[in-house]
């Protein structure tokens, strides 16, 4: 869903819930697929931070949607160039380059999917490659 459209439907959800509708009815009327906890989290953010802040991106750390194609391409190139780089170093490099905070576990999942992950050999020592 496009950002403007997503903001619009979140605002409708909040308005419906403020008018007293149950969260599931409000979500259905707003045409937004969210769970109960998310609906009430948005309503709480609207109350505490204002409607404009509640409808913005939530900026969760490590969320896979942050790692779009340009970031994935950079990560693949970076890790192929130095496959033994620890996740915390890759995490810092991602933040410096793109301003993203991505969890180390998410970085490792992406590295594994791209076949550029750090691997341990049969002896469990770093530096020994596992035969592919």
% pLDDT > 70, the chain: 76
- Dmax of the chain from CA atoms? 63
Question: What does the chain come to in residues?
Answer: 132
Domain chopping of the chain, boundaries = 3-54, 64-113
> Mapping DSSP to helix (H, G, I), strand (E, B) and coil, where does residue 106 land?
helix
Highest mean pLDDT among 9-23, 62-76, 98-112: 9-23
**Is 120 in contact with 130 (CB distance < 8 Å)?**
yes
**Alpha carbons 102 and 89: distance in angstroms, whole number:** 12
Interval 4-60: pLDDT, tens? 888 888 899 999 999 999 999 999 999 988 899 989 988 998 888 887 766 666 555
């Amino acid at each position: 869903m496009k950002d403007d459209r997503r903001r619009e439907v979140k605002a409708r959800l909040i308005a419906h819930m403020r008018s007293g509708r149950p969260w599931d009815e409000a979500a259905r009327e707003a045409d937004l697929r969210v769970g109960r906890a998310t609906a009430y989290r948005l309503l709480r953010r609207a109350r505490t931070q204002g409607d404009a802040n509640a409808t913005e991106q939530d900026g969760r750390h490590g969320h896979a949607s942050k790692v779009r194609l340009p970031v994935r391409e950079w990560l693949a190139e970076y890790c192929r160039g130095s496959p033994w780089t620890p996740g915390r170093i890759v995490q810092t490099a991602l933040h410096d380059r793109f301003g993203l905070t991505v969890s180390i576990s998410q970085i490792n999942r992406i590295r594994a999917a791209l076949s550029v992950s750090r691997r341990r050999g049969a002896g469990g020592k770093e530096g020994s490659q596992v035969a592919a």
